[in-house]
Amino acid sequence: MASAAVAPAFKPITGMLRRGLILDLSIGLGLGFVFGNAFWYGYHMPRVNARDAYYRKLEEARAARQGN
């Protein structure tokens, strides 16, 4: 004898995984980009600028030596 489907007493809890995944990815990638940018602008760029300034100075000194 087939029994009729019984409606659940409360709405099933669905979509938690997807919501959690989106939240976790957002936080993880957000943190990643924050620290990645900190590395880039806090470490890489100052080194590149210092290097460029050094070679600029060197070029000026070379030009001055050659009397240009």
Partner 1 sequence: MFFLINKLVMNFDAPSPWGIYFQDSATPQMEGLNELHDNIMYYLVVILFAVGWILLSIVINYVSTKSPISHKYLNHGTLIELIWTITPAVILILIAFPSFKLLYLMDEVSDPSMSVLAEGHQWYWSYQYPDFLDSNDQFIEFDSYIVPESDLDEGGLRMLEVDNRVVLPELTHVRFIITAGDVIHSFAAPALGIKCDAYPGRLNQVSVFINREGVFYGQCSEICGILHSSMPIVIESVSLEKFLIWLKEQ
Q: Which residue's CB is nearer to partner 1, number 9 or number 57? A: 57
Q: How many CA atoms lie within 13 A of 59 on its CB side?
A: 6
- Among all chains, which residue has been given the structure tokens 């409360």? 10
Q: Which residue's CB is nearer to partner 1, number 7 or number 13? A: 13
Shortest gap between Cβ of 63 and partner 1 (angstroms)? 13
Give the residues lining the site for partner 1 (CB under 8 A).
Answer: 17, 20-21, 24-25, 27-29, 31-33, 35-36, 38-40, 42-44, 46-47, 51, 55, 58
| CA-only gyration radius of the chain, Å | 31
State the greatest distance between any 2 C-alpha atoms of the chain, in Å, as a whole number: 106
